[in-house]
Amino acid sequence: MNLAQTNLQLYLQMAKAGYLDDDLVRANEAYFLAAECTSRLFRGSGKPFISHLVGTASALVYEQRSIDVITAALLHAVYQDRVPFAGGASLDARRRVIRARFGDACEELVDGYHEFEFERLDQYGGLALQERSEVVFIRLADELEDLYDYGLLMHGKDGEDASVRGTADWRLIQKARILPELLRAAHAVGADSLANAIHYWAERSRSVCWPAGLRSERYTSYELE
């Protein structure tokens, strides 16, 4: 599973997967709104934040999810406080914008993900996960994109270990702790290919060692000053 990292790669992937022209246009509109909101944001690895959003959507194209899900994946961070919105819009104002531009179904997914993102998966049984299956798909795609291309290994400074919050070692331990619950959630909603990809990248991340000097000296997402 090679995740797109740019809008052009995503549109090509969608076209090859059989999405309609109208779907590509809708994804394009969501991309440019997300890009506007995150234009100065970077992941802790130094990766542009918009690439993470594109990669999350790309994982869901592989899963042949609906265009509402793909669009919501591109927009899944826009309700977060750290993500600027035109005019400093409140959460309710952001909801109105997303609903007006992308419809109720998409907005409900973005809102559902916003509520679900930081919740513990072990609080949800199989039926509860199935009831919000599309939000679970977005959560799984987001987790996969975190692991994809070893971006987590770039956090922090050379020589720091898991005792420092936010470092590469600390993040890998956190991912290892939630891995069983991610796999359980994936199987509950029929996302076996996402489960396999998450497991693959989690295992690979434990065995890769980058050259000294590639660490970002950052511990979380940040905005350029």
Percent of the chain with pLDDT over 90: 82
Q: Which residue has the tokens 């109105």?
A: 96
Asked whether residue 212 carries a pLDDT value surpassing 80, the answer given is no
Which residue shows structure tokens 């994936």?
186
- Which residues on neighbouring strands pair with residue 42, listed in sequence order? 48, 222
Query: Does residue 87 register a pLDDT over 80?
Result: no
**pLDDT band at residue 1 under the 50/70/90 scheme:** confident
pLDDT band at residue 81 using 50, 70 and 90 as cut-offs: confident
Grade residue 41 by pLDDT with cuts at 50, 70 and 90: very high
Q: Is the pLDDT of residue 119 over 90?
A: no
What pLDDT, on the 0 to 100 scale, is given for residue 117?
84
- Sequence-distant (6+) residues with CB within 8 A of 19 are 27, 61, 67, 70
Three-state SS sequence of 169-205: HHHHHHHHHHHHHHHHHHHHCCCHHHHHHHHHHHHHH
> What is the structure's pLDDT at 77?
95
Cβ atoms of 190 and 144 closer than 8 Å: no
With 80 as the cut, is the pLDDT of residue 14 above it? Answer: yes
Assess contact for 96 and 59: CB atoms under 8 A.
Answer: no
CB 80 within 8 A of CB 68: no
Token code pair at residue 19: 């999405």
Mean pLDDT of the chain: 94
Structural Rg of the chain based on CA atoms: 17
Average pLDDT over residues 175-190: 95
Dihedral angle at the C-alpha atoms of 135, 195, 141, 18, nearest 10 degrees? -90
pLDDT tops 90 at residue 129: yes
Locate 107 and state its tokens.
């907005």
Other CB atoms within a 10 A radius of the CB of residue 90 amount to 10
Q: What separation in angstroms does the CA of 40 have from each of 86, 115, 145, 152?
A: 13, 24, 19, 20
Residue 209 pLDDT > 90: no
**Residue 64 pLDDT class (50, 70, 90 cuts):** very high
pLDDT of residue 70: 98
Does residue 44 surpass a pLDDT of 80?
A: yes
Domains and CATH numbers, the chain: 7-223 (1.10.3210.10)
